[in-house]
Amino acid sequence: MSKVAVAIAAAMLLVACSAQAPTATTTPSSATPTAAPPSQMSAQSLEQAYERVIQQVMPSIVQITTKAGLGSGVVYDSAGHILTNAHVVGHATRMDVTLATGSTSRKARIVKSFSGGDLAIIKVDDPKGLTPAKFGDSSKLRVGQFVLAMGNPLGLSGSVTDGIISALGRTVSEPQDPGSPGATISGAIQTSAAINPGNSGGGLVDLSGQVIGIPTLAATDPDLGGGAAPGIGFAIPSNTATDIAAQIVRNGKVTNSHRAALGIRGSTVIGDNGRPTGVAVAKVDKGSAAEKAGIRPGDVIISINGKDTPTLPSLAESLSALKPGQQAKVEVVKEDGSTKTITVTLGVLPGD
């Protein structure tokens, strides 16, 4: 797998946490101080809380197996819909699902993937006996709060790790690779709970037994030969995940991503010094914000609102901080070498 540097810490890398998953980069938000644990618990009472939560939530965690690999999922409703990551499903249309607590394999089909947010809904053919998870309000999370990550790391069904919420509001970007959507996730939860390949799509759970995030990425350290960087993982907030899931279940697609978009297809330009210098526009979507503003194929986007965008992921990260309908000043280098700043009224990222 390819490795790319990240800004969160010196020489850190990230990997998406399904088997044979892609690498990713991240850009941190402003630092959030680590708070004290939410309550003072004795070792025995904390142990009992963990046991209670695991017993309550584990029946809602599943393992998803495709021809390309495996990952995890969370039972969304009693109709058999299961929430997971888009990169867990990949290009598969059919997959096998087993409960993390152990069960006969069930056949499932893809309902819809939302690659822009690395989320997907699949549906099992036989929903009998499935236990829907309870989802919490991720807007109320606190740094320092105890959490458990539940899933199937390395195919070890029904595994649990513990930790805290280390930070909130991270922006995490995955490079586009075969089977990976290359998503940019805004508002990501950083956690110290260990997340390993196979955990993607599972549940990040609080001590009230509510799923408050979907584990998606984990850091690795090249100084350790690409081994795990302890205590750095990322999850999609539950409010984001359940909003997208509800739209897919109700409409069969994402009707409002709530994400800003230019409406271009492009690639990173590498300068003569070997460093990235901007995003070359290869295609402008018809009727898009970019087309309306006068951005054309051949233009190279070098900044948005004064922030440099030397790579495609950095462009996506800049857009993730903006809202549909908001105006943005996009600086481009035209084919004749001239530089121009164009005011663009941003559109909505399509729901695939």
Q: Is the pLDDT of residue 55 over 50?
A: yes
The average pLDDT across 117-124 equals 96
What is 121-155 written as a DSSP string?
A: EEEES--TT--PPPB--GGG--TT-EEEEEE-GGG
- Which is the catalytic residue, given 200, 238, 257, 320? 200
User: Residue 70: CB partners within 8 Å, gap ≥ 6?
Assistant: 18, 19, 63, 64, 88, 152, 155, 198
Are 136 and 276 in the same domain?
no
The average pLDDT across 210-229 equals 78
Are 34 and 178 in the same domain?
yes
Best CA proximity match to 93, nearest among 123, 60, 52: 123
Please tell me the distance from the alpha carbon of residue 225 to that of residue 239, in angstroms, as a whole number: 36
Residue 72, token pair as written in the block = 């995890």
CATH of residue 320: 2.30.42.10
CATH of residue 164: 2.40.10.120
Segment 74-107, tens digit of pLDDT: 999 999 999 999 999 999 999 999 998 887 899 9
Are 298 and 218 in the same domain?
no
Please tell me the distance from the alpha carbon of residue 346 to that of residue 181, in angstroms, as a whole number: 22
Weakest-pLDDT range from 29-38, 157-166, 316-325: 29-38
Are 124 and 267 in the same domain?
no
Please tell me the distance from the alpha carbon of residue 302 to that of residue 316, in angstroms, as a whole number: 12
Ramachandran bin of 289, using left for φ above 0, alpha for ψ from -120 to 50, beta for the remaining angles: alpha
**What pLDDT, on the 0 to 100 scale, is given for residue 23?**
42
**What pLDDT, on the 0 to 100 scale, is given for residue 251?**
95
**What pLDDT, on the 0 to 100 scale, is given for residue 100?**
84
Are 278 and 155 in the same domain?
no
Are 64 and 156 in the same domain?
yes
**What pLDDT, on the 0 to 100 scale, is given for residue 222?**
66
Please tell me the distance from the alpha carbon of residue 292 to that of residue 121, in angstroms, as a whole number: 33
Weakest-pLDDT range from 13-17, 76-80, 161-165, 221-225: 13-17
Segment 263-316, tens digit of pLDDT: 999 999 999 999 999 999 999 999 999 999 999 999 999 999 999 999 988 999
Q: Is 285 designated active site?
A: no
- Which is the catalytic residue, given 113, 115, 118, 192? 118
Are 249 and 295 in the same domain?
no
Question: What percentage of the chain carries pLDDT values higher than 90?
Answer: 68
Residue 247 near residue 274 (C-beta atoms within 8 A): no
Q: Is the pLDDT of residue 185 over 50?
A: yes
**What pLDDT, on the 0 to 100 scale, is given for residue 65?**
95
**What pLDDT, on the 0 to 100 scale, is given for residue 60?**
96
Are 232 and 86 in the same domain?
yes
Q: Which residues pair with 131 in a beta bridge?
A: none
Which one of 231, 253, 275 terminates a domain?
Answer: 253
**What pLDDT, on the 0 to 100 scale, is given for residue 175?**
53
Which one of 224, 253, 282 terminates a domain?
Answer: 253
Domain region containing 124? 1-253
Are 198 and 228 in the same domain?
yes
Q: Of 36 and 148, which is predicted with more confidence? A: 148
- pTM listed for this prediction: 0.84
- Which is the catalytic residue, given 18, 60, 72, 87? 87
Question: What percentage of the chain carries pLDDT values higher than 70?
Answer: 83
Are 204 and 264 in the same domain?
no
Count up the domains in the chain and report the number: 2
**Sheet strands (E) in 200-349:** 203-206, 211-221, 227-237, 260-261, 264-270, 276-284, 300-304, 307-308, 327-333, 339-345, 347-348
Q: Is 180 designated active site?
A: no
Q: Which residues pair with 264 in a beta bridge?
A: 284
What is 149-182 written as a DSSP string?
A: EEE-GGG-TTEEEEEEEEEEEEEEE---BTTB--
Q: Is 91 designated active site?
A: no
User: Residue 258: CB partners within 8 Å, gap ≥ 6?
Assistant: 243, 323, 324, 348
Q: Is the pLDDT of residue 27 over 80?
A: no
**What pLDDT, on the 0 to 100 scale, is given for residue 183?**
83
Are 244 and 269 in the same domain?
no
Q: Quick one: 285 exposed, middle or buried, by C-beta within 10 A (0-12, 13-18, 19+)?
A: middle
Are 177 and 298 in the same domain?
no
Q: Mean pLDDT across the chain, nearest whole number?
A: 86
Which one of 210, 233, 253 terminates a domain?
Answer: 253
